[in-house]
Structure 1
Amino acid sequence: MPRFVYYTASTLNGFLADEDNSLAWLFAVESSAMPDLSAQLGEVAVNVMGSTTYEWVLREEKILETPGRWQQLDYLGDRPAFVFTSRDLPRPEGADVRLVRGAVTDSLGEITTAADGGDVWLLGGGDLVGQFWEAGALDEIQVSFAPATVPSGAPLLPRRIGPDALSLRSVQQFGQFAHLTYDVRH
């Protein structure tokens, strides 16, 4: 069974993106001290994201304008990506992007099979990750808190999850980021 890991960055006041779906606050923070992504995530075999995150990646990384760009990015690469959406969205040439509709529980079997023993990285958004929590498929939360706040936007994890369900495993400092890792108890 794969581990389902939510790995993300957040503002101090708990937003993934501002009210315009911008991450300008994140990229304004000096990040050279951040560790290699693979060192933080372990053996990621599958990526999962919502349509807003997917469209942001396509736009910001200029994926559709640059053939092969998806595969060149270490956080995407050749691994399957499941995108939860209710719309038809473009897929990059040569990328294993699977557009899925419906409840998270309907796709857990396919995601688990695709992971083939590796981990599943839940990129976001927060509401999608909340659906994985509700389905019992959230094992770890890793959040790098940036020294920034925004007045509103996309929340980190818009669910009520009590302290009995989370166990702090580690706290690390990476430059200006405070990185917290929690194990999720089911």
Structure 2
Amino acid sequence: MTRFLFDTATSLNGWIADEHNSLGWLFAVEGGDSPDESLLPANAGVLVEGSTTYEWLLAESDLLAHPEKWAEFHGERPVYVFTTRDLPVPAGADVRFVRGPVAEALPAIRAAAGDRDVWVVGGGDLAGQFADIGALDEIAVSIAPVLLAGGAPLLPRRIESDRLRLVSARAAGQFARLVYAVGAPPADG
């Protein structure tokens, strides 16, 4: 059965990108530039990204000029990018642009994933949209020993403790790794 996973890294004070939409702070942490494979969703058959995450990845690795680098992170998996704009695609990359609500895109994303998981890479608001409609099964967070002054919040939604169940907590190098199962939203909203 396909599961939807929001798996990300965050600063100790809850920012997933700094005020310049950069993840440079993350890569400066020991182990941040090459995370342990056990920290990445092993069964992800599809990746989902917001346009800010997608554009940052394009720029950071200069993927338009070096499309061969695309597979280093994305592999051969299809990538759904939620955007309202026309964006470039690295040569050979399987990028599928989505306009509109998450709920409308779910059937296509599920079909592309088959019996594998869907990794909601980021950002936090996009993951929140999945949570809003009850289509987020797990939140996995690698907390870095960094404090940022501001930026993009981890998940800009209020999700009460009755929807979150701690699955695991452990040290992973310099990171604290927390995994929570996510329950369905209340029937009244």
Tell whether the structures are fold-level matches, with TM greater than 0.5.
yes
1:102 is matched by which residue type in structure 2?
G
Is the 2:6–2:121 Cα contact (8 Å) retained in structure 1? yes
1:110 is matched by which residue type in structure 2?
A
Structure 1 residues 21 and 132, CA, compared in 2 at 3 Å: closer, same or farther? same
Distance 2:42 2:76 in 1: 16
Q: CA deviation at 1:69?
A: 2.1
Please give the per-residue CA displacement for 1:16-43, whole angstroms capped at 9, x wherever unaligned.
Answer: 0111112222112101794215x64131
What residue number does 1:36 align with?
A: 37
Q: CA deviation at 1:92?
A: 1.1
Is the 2:134–2:183 Cα contact (8 Å) retained in structure 1? no
What residue number does 1:70 align with?
A: 70
Can you give the 5+ residue segments of structure 1 that lack an aligned partner in the other structure?
none
2:92 is matched by which residue type in structure 1?
G
1:58 aligns with 2:77: no
TM-score (norm 1): 0.94
1:91 aligns with 2:92: no
Is the 1:50–1:125 Cα contact (8 Å) retained in structure 2? yes
Structure 1 residues 95 and 34, CA, compared in 2 at 3 Å: closer, same or farther? closer
Q: Give the 4+ runs in structure 1 shifted more than 4 A.
A: none
Percent of aligned pairs with the same residue?
54
Can you give the 5+ residue segments of structure 2 that lack an aligned partner in the other structure?
185-189
Distance 1:148 1:42 in 2: 26
Please give the per-residue CA displacement for 1:120-145, whole angstroms capped at 9, x wherever unaligned.
Answer: 00001000000000121100010000
1:107 aligns with 2:108: no
What residue number does 1:152 align with?
A: 150
Please give the per-residue CA displacement for 1:106-160, whole angstroms capped at 9, x wherever unaligned.
Answer: 1000000000110000001000000000121100010000011111100000000
Distance 1:145 1:64 in 2: 30
Distance 1:111 1:181 in 2: 23
What residue number does 2:174 align with?
A: 176
Q: 3-state DSSP class of the match of 1:41?
A: coil
Structure 1 residues 78 and 183, CA, compared in 2 at 3 Å: closer, same or farther? same
Distance 2:35 2:79 in 1: 24
Is the 2:78–2:94 Cα contact (8 Å) retained in structure 1? yes
What residue number does 2:187 align with?
A: none
- Root-mean-square deviation (CA, aligned residues, Å) is 1.4
Q: Where in structure 2 are the equivalents of 1:3-42 lying within 5 Å?
A: 3-31=3-31, 34-37=35-38, 40-42=40-42
Is the 1:34–1:174 Cα contact (8 Å) retained in structure 2? no
Distance 2:30 2:49 in 1: 25
